[in-house]
């Protein structure tokens, strides 16, 4: 009787193992698909990378592994194009020479762009274009005009431009006076700038 039970037990073990491995072979691909789908869902959320463009600006790239076709849509942001044309009658900062003038422009004080320095002139001509990705709430453009020095750059004048009026027009072309540091004395010169603003819808219309 015991021998018969052992024989039955030994016969049942191979059958049980065969059934077990068959079930495992069926389950493993399902588990693999579930794990893969979880990974893709997590990776599909937009990932941001920051790097400097050739012009020195910070560019944010949005990448999606789930839907690459949406990537170009995510990349498009409103843009502010700042053209620094020229300046005139800049207040001389050095006693024996004219200014070595350059302009620093920014929406965020942590991320600034600047023009090249024009040597020994109080009426510099830059004709340079600086492009900024515009984010919600950045309603002020800062322009700082400096005289470049080896030890410390001297401030010629600083201006702020409210961008809210430009959002609808999309364009500004003006000569703007540079106030003195105290704001009491006469102007420290004028700067000619052109602003072009393209919102999200205008950017997408080019796609």
Which CATH number characterizes residue 115's domain? 2.60.40.150
User: Residue 181's Cα: distance from chain center in Å?
Assistant: 31
Among candidate residues 75, 92, 122, the one where a domain is terminated: 75
Question: What per-residue confidence (pLDDT) applies to 52?
Answer: 41
Residues 159 and 63 in one domain: no
**Which burial class, exposed, middle or buried, applies to 64 when counting CB atoms under 10 A from its CB (0-12, 13-18, 19+)?**
middle
Residues 71 and 157 in one domain: no
Q: Same domain, yes or no, for 89 and 186? A: yes
Are 101 and 90 in contact by the 8 Å Cβ rule? The answer is yes
Q: How far lies 162's CA from each of 105, 137, 165, in Å?
A: 14, 11, 7
Q: Which domain holds residue 55?
A: 45-75
Q: Same domain for 12 and 85?
A: no
Number of Cβ within a 10 Å radius of residue 81: 15
Do 141 and 157 lie in a common domain? yes
Q: 34 and 109 share a domain?
A: no
* Residue 197 pLDDT: 96
What was the pLDDT predicted at 168? 86
The CA-atom distances, in angstroms, between 7 and each of 14, 20, 120, 198 are: 12, 20, 106, 84
Q: Are residues 137 and 65 in the same domain?
A: no
Strands (E), the chain: 47-52, 58-63, 79-88, 101-108, 111-114, 125-133, 140-147, 154-162, 171-177, 190-198
> Could you tell me the pTM of the whole model?
0.62
- Final residue of a structural domain among 53, 75, 97: 75
Counted domains in the chain: 3
Q: What is the pLDDT along the chain (207 residues), one digit of tens a residue?
A: 555 555 555 555 555 555 555 666 666 666 655 554 444 334 333 333 344 444 444 444 333 343 444 444 445 789 999 999 999 999 988 877 899 999 999 999 999 999 999 999 999 999 999 999 999 899 999 999 999 998 899 999 999 999 998 998 999 999 999 998 765 567 899 999 999 999 866 555 545
Residues 87 and 116 in one domain: yes
Which residue, 24, 55, 75, sits at the end of a domain? 75
In 10 A of CB 107, how many CB atoms? Answer: 21
Whether residue 92 is found in the same domain as residue 175: yes
Q: How far apart are CA 152 and CA 156, in angstroms?
A: 13
Do 96 and 147 fall within a single domain?
Answer: yes
Cβ neighbours around 116 below 10 Å, total: 12
Q: Are residues 82 and 56 in the same domain?
A: no
Of residues 145, 143, 92, the one with CA closest to residue 121: 92
Same domain, 116 and 167: yes
């Amino acid at each position: 009787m015991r021998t018969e039970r052992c024989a039955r037990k030994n016969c049942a073990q191979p059958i049980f193992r065969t059934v077990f491995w068959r079930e495992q072979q069926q389950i493993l691909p399902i588990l693999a698909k579930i794990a893969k789908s979880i990974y893709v869902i997590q990776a599909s959320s937009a990932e941001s990378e920051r790097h400097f463009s050739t012009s020195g600006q910070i560019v944010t790239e949005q990448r999606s592994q789930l839907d690459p076709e949406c990537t170009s849509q995510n990349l498009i942001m409103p843009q502010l194009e700042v053209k620094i044309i020229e300046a005139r009658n800049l207040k001389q900062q050095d006693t024996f020479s004219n200014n070595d003038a350059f302009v620093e422009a920014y929406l965020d004080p942590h991320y600034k762009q600047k023009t090249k320095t024009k040597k020994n002139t109080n009426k510099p001509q830059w004709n340079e274009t600086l492009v900024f990705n515009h984010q919600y709430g950045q309603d002020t453009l800062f322009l700082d005009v400096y005289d470049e020095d080896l030890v410390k750059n001297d401030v010629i004048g600083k201006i702020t431009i409210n961008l809210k009026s430009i959002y609808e027009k999309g364009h500004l072309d003006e000569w703007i006076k540079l106030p003195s540091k105290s704001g009491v004395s006469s102007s420290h010169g004028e700067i000619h700038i052109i602003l072009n603003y393209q919102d999200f819808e205008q950017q997408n219309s080019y796609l």
